[in-house]
Amino acid sequence: MVRRFSDLLRALVPPDSETRAKLGKARGMVPAPLAGRIERLVRARRAKLGFTRIPYPIPSGIDAAPEMVSLSTDDVTTREEVGEVNSACLEHARRALFRAIAARPELFRDSIAPGIIGFPVVKEALALQLFAEEPVHVLLIGDPGTGKTVLLQGASELHPISSFGLGSGTSGAGLAVTVKGNDIRPGLLSLADKGLCCIDELNLMAKEDRAPLYSAMEKGFFTYDKAGHHFRFDARVRLLATANPAKTKFTGRTPEELRAELPFDAALLSRFHLLFIMRKPGKEEFLEITRRMVKGASAKPPLDAGLARDYVKHAAVLKVELPAGLEKDISALAESLKEREATFIQEVSPRTIVGLIRLAKASARMELRGAVEKRDIERARDVLLSSLTA
């Protein structure tokens, strides 16, 4: 009671001109209820009002305030409330920045391995994979020197939950668990539960070691038995893997020839929603890359990795619906794909359409929207078609 009366007396004393100016600025930066709470603390002389930079670099071209409201206090009894207010101010600033980024979804594509010039559709696919609620598995098969590993690393850096391993150095046990004496710890797959599991040079992993991978890709978990004990590990992963063609370098041109050069059997290939064949650039592509290099194409990603990870985490809680009105569009697209199946590298299966729908939902989630729109289906279609054709 005494404290409240003391606060009331202090609040009756008008703040100085500098404090009034700061309060006016704060009102324009936070919602009214939060601004009222800030003003009450400041006018009662229980906290000092200031401003600080938000904890992310603002991407070029993004219209968002670079600073946020920040309170400080020497009053022990007020510290908890000041902490709550500062947390609310940070969250408001974050959400405002995220809304601005949502209008520029290409930033995620351009932030994946910007030093690798070209492969825009592959980068688009990897950007969508970051935002897939349900697993979307992507396989990059290409000639050596096409930047597959760098793309893998670039995508891995942007997801808040990720693991990275080499096919040549990962056994079936290491893929599933790591064992030290009687201590059983999560392996590569379970470390990336609900996240992105990246495996470079998957073709170098022995076939007999892939059983946990099959189970994780299909069921979202795998089991492990040791010394009479049965363990189950969740592995709801989005798998991103690379591989070299069976003959090290692609020589075929037709779908039949290319299928013969893929290094995996149907049991594994059928589990991937997207398969991209990556070739070294031809003459025209090489000249275009050279022109961009001469012009000084930046290798700096437009999005800070920490900002991207926090954005992906923020978007992950968003539930995206597929409106009934778009079901006809999906059905028509599925029919069209099936009619063209003979010209594709892979067959068009129910998994193909499932992948299409998941990509469309990921497209909406990337822009923080709760419902799929026709443009999301078109974006998913373009990515899928690129993966089906050589």
| Residue (of 154, 237, 242) closest to 204 by Cα position | 242
d(CA 217, CA 189): 10
Q: Are 178 and 317 part of one and the same domain?
A: yes
Q: Are 328 and 213 part of one and the same domain?
A: yes
Q: Are 84 and 23 part of one and the same domain?
A: yes
What pLDDT digit, counting tens, does each position of 20-41 carry?
999 999 999 999 999 999 999 9
Query: In order along the chain (390 residues), what is the average pLDDT of each group of 10 residues?
Result: 51 77 95 95 93 94 92 94 97 96 97 92 99 97 91 98 86 70 81 96 89 92 76 92 91 90 93 93 68 65 97 98 96 96 94 97 99 98 94
Q: Are 38 and 142 part of one and the same domain?
A: no
d(CA 310, CA 35): 25
User: Among the three residues 102, 120, 138, which one is the final residue of a domain in this structure?
Assistant: 102
Q: Residue 70, Cα to own-chain centre: how many angstroms? A: 30
pLDDT of residue 13: 60
Q: Are 78 and 191 part of one and the same domain?
A: no
- What is the domain-level CATH number for residue 122? 3.40.50.300
Q: Are 62 and 182 part of one and the same domain?
A: no
pTM above 0.85, yes or no: yes
Q: Are 60 and 157 part of one and the same domain?
A: no
Distances (CA, A) of 157 to 138, 275, 315: 16, 21, 16
d(CA 360, CA 368): 13
d(CA 33, CA 72): 19
Q: Are 45 and 60 part of one and the same domain?
A: yes
Q: Are 90 and 125 part of one and the same domain?
A: no
Q: Which residue type, as a one-letter code, is found at position 249?
A: K
pLDDT of residue 385: 97
pLDDT of residue 171: 61
What pLDDT digit, counting tens, does each position of 44-87 carry?
899 999 999 999 999 999 988 899 999 999 999 999 999 999 99
Q: Are 223 and 149 part of one and the same domain?
A: yes
Q: Could you tell me the residue range of the domain that residue 65 belongs to?
A: 2-102
Tally of structural domains, the chain: 2
Q: Where do the H-state alpha helices sit in 111-146?
A: 120-130
Distances (CA, A) of 114 to 86, 118, 243: 35, 9, 21
d(CA 230, CA 213): 18
d(CA 33, CA 5): 22
Q: Are 86 and 197 part of one and the same domain?
A: no
* Phi, psi for residue 235 in degrees, rounded to 5: -145, 60
Place of tokens 């998994």: 351
User: Among the three residues 77, 102, 127, which one is the final residue of a domain in this structure?
Assistant: 102
Q: Are 111 and 98 part of one and the same domain?
A: no
The encoded tokens of residue 261 equal: 């050069």
pLDDT of residue 1: 46
DSSP code, position 249: S
Place of tokens 């700061």: 22
User: Among the three residues 62, 86, 102, which one is the final residue of a domain in this structure?
Assistant: 102
pLDDT of residue 169: 67
